[in-house]
Each structure stands twice: as structure tokens, then as C-alpha cells.
Amino acid sequence: MSGIGERKTTRMVSTLKRQRLALVTLVVVLASVTSAFAAKKFDGRWTLTITIPESPNVGNNRTFTVTIEASPRDGSLHGRSTITDAEGHTVGGAWRQVAKKVSVTYELPCAGDGPCATLILTGKIKSSGTKINNGNVIVMWDTANDHNPALFDTSNGSFKANRLE
């Protein structure tokens, strides 16, 4: 009888060793796959080309370029950003990234006589980690509108972005 018990014990130990080896192999494979498919980080310097209406309820669009410096999030839900336009006006903003999807929000610098607005940009970082194409812009103007659920005039626009560094 002791020979049968020894064979069962040997088979159990051998099975446990194979299971442990399979588990270690699975962990290594999952770790490498996760890092291979990890999204490129948005932090860094980007040039954004933004197209939005000139003002609320107007059919004419304007296109302008800004440079954004997106600071690392360091574990926070959102990151800080500094946005500079072609005229050298600098404003602060915030950004958030979930996988490849990025959102950025900031206040447009206001001209004295024109309407001011907040921009919310949403887009997806391409696999190269250097571009965002066909991004969407929501413009919330500072003009009240009781007929809009947001209680302000809103417009839509678009943007594209290229990483500078």
C-alpha cells in the first residue's frame, strides 16, 4: 500500500509544480501584454490646431493654434496644463486621460469686446503616441441662454494635435 501512496504523492507534487510553472508563465505573459498595450501618456508638449465658431450663433469659423504643456498627473485624477496662444497669452487648464482618451479644458483669453468661452476638448491619442486626429471641441460661451439646458450658448468645433517632445 505504501507504494501506491508514494506514487499519488509524487503525482500530486508533479502536478503542483506544473500548475505553479503555468501560473508564473501566465503572469509573465500578462505583464508583457499589459505594457505593450498601455496607452501613451498625454503629458508633455503638444501643438493643437483648433477650429470653433467666431462667436455664438454665427456660421463663420476661426482656426487658431495653441501650445499646451501638460504636466504629469502623478497619480492624480487630473493634470495641470499651461496653454499659450500665438499672441503669447498664457492660461491654465486641466486635463484627464483614461486609456487613449484625453480631455482638456481651459478658458479662452478674452478680447475686451468679444464673447469669452470655455473649451472642452476630447480626443484619442493615436497608437504612435504623437497625434490626436478628429478631436471634438465643445465651446461654452459666457452668453446666457435660457433655452439651452446648459443655460449658456454652446457650439461645437474640432481639433487636431501633434506632440512636440
123-153 pLDDT tens trace: 999 988 899 999 999 999 988 889 988 888 9
Q: Is the pLDDT confidence value at 107 over 60? A: yes
13-46 pLDDT tens trace: 566 566 665 555 545 544 444 443 455 888 899 9
Neighbours of 150 (CB within 10 A): 10
On whether the pTM is more than 0.85, the answer is no
Q: What DSSP letter does each residue of 60-85 carry, written as one string?
A: -EEEEEEEEEE---TTSSSEEEEEEE
For 107-126, give one letter per residue: b (16+ CB within 10 A) or e. ebeeeeeebebbbebbbebe
Residue-averaged pLDDT of the chain: 82
The arithmetic mean of pLDDT across residues 53-76, rounded, is 88
